[in-house]
Amino acid sequence: MINRRVLTCQTATATPLAAVFESENRAEQVGLSPFDRITCRFHRRWIHDCVVSPAHVVAVAGYRWCGDCAAAATVMVDHLGCEVVVWCERCDRRLHDGPNEQLRQVCLRSLEVSRGRRAFSPEYGVRRSA
Ligand SMILES: [Zn+2]
Ligand SMILES: [Zn+2]
């Protein structure tokens, strides 16, 4: 039942995963940060689909990481409500600090683009020198 409801959330205008993946591969070569990608080069999936993998915990950068607990955080993805929460189970709270908030935003964008709720822009996140 859940799958059927998720499908109705999709639209015909959603950009296919493969197209976004290839576009971000090219964008990365001209400055897109790997942390700003909405597709995962490692898992070859939407970031919100594979962010639960331990490979997405980057302790030194503070990604999916609670600094206070020195522990990996969990990411909860609500496909129906299109909401993403980065959560530390040890201290039982949402993580809003810079890297975790960036991760949350990227997962949200990934979710929305995959559903056709938001247009994909390959330029997003590319830092241009003035
Ligand atoms: Zn991944
Ligand atoms: Zn914590």
On whether residue 85 sits in a domain, the answer given is yes
In angstroms, the CA 69 to CA 14 distance is: 38
Q: How far is the CA of 39 from the centre of ligand 1 (A)?
A: 8
**Position 47 in a domain:** yes
Q: What is the pLDDT of residues 66-97, one digit of tens each?
A: 999 999 999 999 988 889 999 999 999 999 99
The one-letter code for the residue type at 79 is H
Note the pLDDT tens digit of each residue in 6-55: 444 555 578 899 999 999 999 999 999 999 999 999 999 999 999 999 99
Any domain includes 106: yes
| Residue 77 belongs to some domain of the structure | yes
Place of tokens 């331990």: 54
CA–centroid distance, residue 95 to ligand 2 (Å)? 8
> What is the extent of the structural domain holding 25?
2-114
> Could you give the number of structural domains in the chain?
1
Establish if 126 belongs to a structural domain: no
For residue 77, CA distances in Å to 28, 102, 122 come to 25, 15, 23
Average pLDDT of the residues of the chain: 88
pLDDT at position 17, please? 96
Distance 117 CA to ligand 2 centre (A): 32
Q: Classify residue 123: in a domain, yes or no.
A: no
- What is residue 43's predicted lDDT score, i.e. its pLDDT? 98
Cβ atoms of 20 and 14 within 8 Å: the answer is no
* Confidence (pLDDT) at 130: 41
Q: Is the pLDDT of residue 5 over 90?
A: no
d(CA 114, CA 118): 8
At 104, which helix (H) or strand (E)? helix 98-114
**C-alpha 86: how far from its chain's center?**
11
Q: Is residue 130 a part of any domain in this protein? A: no
